[in-house]
Amino acid sequence: MSCFNANKTCWNCPAAVFKGNVDFRACGQSQDEIKAKLGDEGQIMIECARRPDLGYFEPSITFEQCPEWIEGEYGLQLKNMRVMILGMDGYLGWALALKLGRMGFQVSGIDNYTRRDTVAEKGAHTIVPIERMTERLHAASEIYGLNFNYRRMDIRERDHLAAFLDEVKPEAIVHYAEIPSAPYSMVDADHAIEVQDNNTLGTLGLLWLIKDIVPETSLIKLGTMGEYGAPLTGRPLFEGMFPADATLTWRGREWSLGGEITPRDPVSFYHVSKVQDTYNVYESCKYWWLRSYDVQQGVIYGVHTEETAKDPRLRTRFDIDEWFGTVINRFVAQAIAGIPLTIYGTGEQIKGFIALEDAMECMVRLITSPPEPGQYDVVNQVSGIHKLNEIAEIIAKVGKKHGLKVEIQRVENPRVETEVHPLEIVSRKLPRELGFNPTVLVEKEIDRVFTLLMQPELTSRIKEKAHTIMPKTRWTGEKKDSGVIEKYKPGEKTYGDHHGVLDTE
């Protein structure tokens, strides 16, 4: 077999418990360093938590050779791998739980329902109705025979989380338990503090628990492309760290930048929380040999996965309000409600995007290809890049096929963000090293969203909450409507001719 993870070895496997004759966790950052310290005499030994009969051995068995790694939908997967999803009730968490469960993973999870509460606090609701968790679990069991080990819990309740981690001993932890909204973090001081407290302190506490309870687990932590900002120099957005051949030249001297964390330039207090997480996760990999993928995900959109589409009780949430709706999801709802699509500012902003279903596939690939102990790795999880005004045109076009007359409006930008900028996103690891090939075309997913949301009961749920669509939360702290700059029909306007680059080669 020559799948993407066939040649990974015990070094990557969370079942391998390292038992070196030195305290290898204090040795530094690379296998080479450990080996150099151990000298010719030394050996790094492991014990396999799944195959204790093997005793101590050198960590060199490949996934392909190991009977615990079996063929799955995407490459090899660890038999009955225990995956804990933090934030299992959310837009992504629920879709991932179903997918993993269906693929044979043993799924556990927690949620404190913050997302339900914060959306309700803002007077909005999910357009796709979702069941209470008890009913969701019941439906997952009835339809797919799944038995999720779920607890209601806040990640900041460390005693409870410690007990749950100890009980489950997850071999991978997917960390979605953060408040994901830039505008929500800009409402006022209380909201900004709550977002940073939940996200940053929650993650920091989690890292200490992982160190003490499940140091071999791999942490797949959701970051965001917005950590990087959009540098006006056009410098490529590398995957977290500068590549080996990057250099800095200054006053006639030159340095290597290879391996250094690239600059971050977040665009809201929410995005700042993700940057702080980045450093906390990076440090804990360094101090304690934890392993992690930091997933810099682009703007997510869409509604469809095979499992969530199977039964209305399995659907995942879908928000369109100014705080929790992401731009594509919002635009489709606006088209249906007869509101001209709200482009903030010039609409020349370029963003990386990924559809829900593609994002879920990426997560499976990351779970089944864990980093090595001590390895902090970053992936840019993006499947396409688009300008906002192009997105509005695409949505208008697909809306027309559904019989809708769609208008577009440019409104004063409530955010502080660069509107005209170059953008080059490097996203090589997922397609080149982890075998990911996006399958969801943007028009296809937008079409699916229209089809679902145009069901009369969902259209009335959009109309019921139409007053939560127009932005009122400004980055200045003021609350006021954004004035309309211009309104136009699709195809009427010529846009700037700069475009972004998605570098997957």
Binding site for ligand USQ (CB under 6 A): 180-182, 224-226, 298-299, 326-327, 330, 342-344, 349, 351-352, 388, 415, 417
150, 184, 228, 270: the catalytic one is 270
Other Cβ atoms less than 10 A from the Cβ of 250: the count is: 7
Q: What angle do CA 164, 170, 173 make, to 5 degrees?
A: 100
Cβ–Cβ under 8 Å, residues 335 and 342 = no
* Shortest distance, position 365 Cβ to ligand USQ, whole Å: 19
Using CB positions, name the residue nearest to ligand USQ. Answer: 226
Residue 162: strand pairing partners = none
> Greatest CA span in the chain, whole angstroms?
75
In the sheet that holds 350-355, the strands lie side by side as 299-301, 350-355, 384-387
Active site includes 274? yes
8, 274, 429, 465: the catalytic one is 274
118, 126, 203, 224: the catalytic one is 224
Contacts of 133 (CB under 8 A, 6+ apart): 89, 111, 113, 150, 152
CA dist 362 and 366 (Å) reads: 6
Nearer to ligand USQ, 315 or 330 (CB): 330
* Shortest distance, position 224 Cβ to ligand USQ, whole Å: 3
Contacts of 219 (CB under 8 A, 6+ apart): 172, 173, 175, 206, 207, 210, 281, 290, 291, 292, 293
Nearer to ligand USQ, 125 or 351 (CB): 351
* Shortest distance, position 119 Cβ to ligand USQ, whole Å: 12
Helix (H) or strand (E) holding 408: strand 408-411
Nearer to ligand USQ, 319 or 372 (CB): 319
Cβ–Cβ under 8 Å, residues 468 and 124 = yes
* Shortest distance, position 295 Cβ to ligand USQ, whole Å: 10
* Shortest distance, position 326 Cβ to ligand USQ, whole Å: 4
- Using alpha carbons, select from 250, 215, 260 the residue that is nearest to residue 26: 215
Active site includes 270? yes
Nearer to ligand USQ, 15 or 359 (CB): 359
* Shortest distance, position 222 Cβ to ligand USQ, whole Å: 8
Q: What angle do CA 302, 305, 308 make, to 5 degrees?
A: 105
Active site includes 224? yes
- Using alpha carbons, select from 297, 327, 301, 312 the residue that is nearest to residue 91: 301
Nearer to ligand USQ, 58 or 443 (CB): 443
Record the tokens describing residue 242, joined without a space: 């500068």
* Shortest distance, position 85 Cβ to ligand USQ, whole Å: 17
In this structure, which long-range contacts are made by residues 239-247, counting pairs with CB atoms below 8 Å and at least 24 apart in sequence?
239/296, 239/378, 239/379, 239/380, 239/426, 239/427, 239/428, 239/429, 240/278, 240/294, 240/296, 240/377, 240/378, 240/380, 241/378
- The helix/strand/coil state of 49 is coil
Residues tagged active-site: 224, 270, 274
